[in-house]
Amino acid sequence: MKTLYKLCLTAVTSLLLIACQSGPAPQHYLITPNDQAITASHATPKPALRVEPVKSSAILNTTQMEYKRHDNQVEFYTQSQWSVPVPRMIQDLMVESLVKSGRFSDVISAPSDLSTPLRLDLHLYTLEQDFTKSPYKAIARMHVRLVDTHNQRIIRSKMFFDEETILDYNAKAGVEAYNRLFSRMIPKVIDEIAR
């Protein structure tokens, strides 16, 4: 009887553990724009540039991937998320793209103890998948500021906005739209700060 009781208890415990398991692991995504749009410059490069950490609201400074189905209501995907927090991903994309462009003698990612003559400040205001109306849109809005670090003078300051159609109602299609969007936006940012 005691053995039967232990077997039943083990079986019930196993079933409870199986039932309490969470669903499948979430999919992880990165924004990976087509870097073919960035062409290497053969002109004399500008002085070295330090790219500061991207500033953003707390809602963007996570690995959660947001979307909207209704105006003024943000939701998060449960089975899809960013591989790294969005600001870090954008900073890494900018550094990689700036290095590839050859427009600056060196590009450093902050935080760094190295000082540079130029500093790039980025503030990401919007990165959302908007499903409130058709056609669905991926939207990004980012302020860019180039600063002369010797005298703390703003050299360039511009707000960039872009949107791209999302072809399907899911996270993967939203990420693909972000890839197309940033394939256009990043070269524009580089052209603006390197002119």
| Per-domain residue ranges of the chain | 26-194
pLDDT of residue 41: 80
pLDDT of residue 1: 59
pLDDT of residue 192: 95
pLDDT of residue 178: 96
Q: Rounded to whole angstroms, how far apart are CA atoms 185 and 172? A: 20
Residue numbers in the chain where pLDDT is lower than 50:
none
Give the number of other CB atoms < 10 A from CB of residue 62: 15
- At 27-47, the pLDDT tens digits run 999 999 987 778 788 788 899
Architecture of domain 26-194: 3-Layer(aba) Sandwich (3.40)
pLDDT of residue 26: 84
pLDDT of residue 59: 87
